[in-house]
Amino acid sequence: MTRIIVSGASGQFGHAAASQLLDKGCEVIALSRSLDRLADLKERGADVRKADFDSPDRLEEAMAGGDKLLLISTTMVGERARQHGNAIDAAKAAGVKHIVYTSLLGARKPGNPSVEGIDHIATEEKLEQSGLAYTFLRNSLYAEAVATAMAIPALTAGTKPENAGQGRVPVVSRDDCVAIAVAVLTQDGHENKAYDVTGPDLWTLPDAMAVVAEMAGKPIEVHDVDDEGMFAYFDSLGVPRKSADVDPNGPIPWASEGMVTFGQSIREGYMNIDSDDVERITGRKPRSLRSVFEQYQGAWPA
């Protein structure tokens, strides 16, 4: 039986993917820096192993015996290419044959300004040159991120600055991103292909916030700002501008340059992509934005 390695198995995406693979009767090797967070997967039969992409000398051992790897992109923008490179090298040395990688929608469109995409492009290129089979899952903006990181501060303040303008993005549920990853890992015929993983509709972020306001019964006034205005907003929250200045153990483990240039990429049309890859590969319709909002509505400020 094919043994499937899941990186970042203590995270939301990785844990859900490992759990669904176990549901399908797959042999799963679950990797994480925090083994205590994998106890439930271990009880269900997963082979739980400690792995740290910043410690490449131990990675080959952690991946030994695996046939496929679900490589979930790490959180440290600016460090991802190095970390992912370590994982790819170790997987190849361990005998892994196929790597499925969670990339970013529109990242390889020429001229895309998103610094989030730089690491994804480097990882895709590394995989293309590795000699291994690969599949790129180019995920869009998570609906869950809109429902939490965007919606909660906007509802609290009653306002939200936004530099994405009227650019449209096919917001997708993390559930659908996990579903297509599991499908690709357990089906044949996905080698050396790239899929656009999108939700059922294209949204402007002001329109998405209008749905939040309507469902919450509270007003949100979206202010259209330029990129420097968006930087100023994040400055006011104490968010470092550059990834190099981020403290990974601090209260805000991300940099505003990623968020601002991501908004710019939406505004300039780089994420205006409509795809049926989720439904075609998983056989199910992707979740609507409103259905995800309903799931998180109880956490919104009253």
H helix or E strand, kind and range, residue 30? strand 27-32
What is the reported pLDDT for 199? 98
Helix (H, G, I), strand (E, B) or coil at 110: coil
User: Residue 93: exposed, middle, or buried by beta-carbon count in 10 A (0-12, 13-18, 19+)?
Assistant: middle
DSSP labels, 116-158: HHHHHHHHHHHHHTSSSEEEEEEE--BHHHIIIIIHHHHHHHS
Could you tell me which residues come within 8 angstroms of residue 153 by beta carbon, excluding any fewer than 6 positions away?
160
Reported as a pLDDT band with limits 50, 70 and 90, residue 218 is very high
What is the reported pLDDT for 134? 98
Q: Using alpha carbons only, give the angle 75, 105, 122 rounded to the nearest 5 degrees.
A: 60
Reported as a pLDDT band with limits 50, 70 and 90, residue 76 is confident
**Does the pLDDT of residue 282 top 80, yes or no?**
yes
H helix or E strand, kind and range, residue 69? strand 68-71
What is the reported pLDDT for 78? 83
pLDDT in tens, 166-192: 999 999 999 999 999 999 999 999 999
Contact present, 282 and 183 (Cβ < 8 Å): yes
pTM over 0.85: yes
What is the reported pLDDT for 169? 98
**Does the pLDDT of residue 110 top 90, yes or no?**
yes
Could you tell me which residues come within 8 angstroms of residue 49 by beta carbon, excluding any fewer than 6 positions away?
29, 30, 31, 35, 62
**Does the pLDDT of residue 237 top 90, yes or no?**
no
Q: Using alpha carbons only, give the angle 7, 9, 15 rounded to the nearest 5 degrees.
A: 135
Helix (H, G, I), strand (E, B) or coil at 302: coil
What is the reported pLDDT for 247? 77
What is the reported pLDDT for 1? 77
**Does the pLDDT of residue 253 top 90, yes or no?**
no
Average pLDDT, the chain: 95
Instruction: Give the CA radius of gyration of the chain.
Output: 19
What is the reported pLDDT for 232? 96
Reported as a pLDDT band with limits 50, 70 and 90, residue 229 is very high
Distance in angstroms (rounded) separating the CA atoms of residues 275 and 280: 9
3-state helix, strand, coil in the chain (%, to 5): 45, 15, 40
Contact present, 138 and 116 (Cβ < 8 Å): no
Dihedral over Cα of 213, 216, 219, 223: its sign: negative
